[in-house]
Amino acid sequence: MTNNDILKKLRVALMLRDDEIVDILALVDFRISKSEIGAFCRKEGHPKYRECGDQVLRNFLNGLVLHLRGPKEDPKNPKDVLNSPKKSTSKGPSKPRKSKFTGLGSVPYKNKKRS
């Protein structure tokens, strides 16, 4: 699978237009025109076809992360994060879970009489 195939599949799956892809690439300070995006999405034998390089795809994926998740929030002081006490998510001692499915032989089969 080529970089062009990956770009095309993501474009279709996320329903992105060329101008939206240009905006996503601008989030990571990568400038590209709409016509170049169109050239990446053409068939391989087309005269205007252009191969998508690793740099373009890498920047698109990084921009897509920013577009979908938002910018990463950095802690104000990294030492505060390292020295902070860990929060416990459990409310007490955990009990072992009982499984709904205990095996084939463990539940007796009841015959129902048809009337």
| Mean per-residue pLDDT, 10-32 | 94
Cα–Cα distance for residue pair 38/18, rounded to 1 Å: 7
Residue 3 has pLDDT above 70, yes or no: yes
Domain annotation covers residue 97: no
Residue 79 falls inside a structural domain: no
- Does this model's pTM top 0.95? no
How far apart (Å, rounded) are the C-alpha atoms in residues 78 and 80? 5
Rounded to the nearest 5 degrees, what angle is found at the Cα of 108, between the Cα atoms of 102 and 109?
Answer: 115
Largest CA distance in the chain: 77
Which of 11-15, 30-34, 88-92 shows the lowest mean pLDDT across its residues? Answer: 88-92
Range of the domain at 64: 3-69
What is the overall mean pLDDT for the chain? 81
User: Residues 98-114: pLDDT tens digits?
Assistant: 655 555 555 555 565 66
Mean pLDDT along residues 23-52: 94
In the chain, the amino acid numbered 90 is: S
For range 29-55, the mean pLDDT: 94
CB 49 within 8 A of CB 36: no
Tell me if residue 40 falls in helix, strand or coil. Answer: helix
Residues 63-93 pLDDT 10s = 999 999 887 776 666 666 566 666 656 565 6
Number of domain units in the chain: 1
Does residue 84 sit within a domain? no
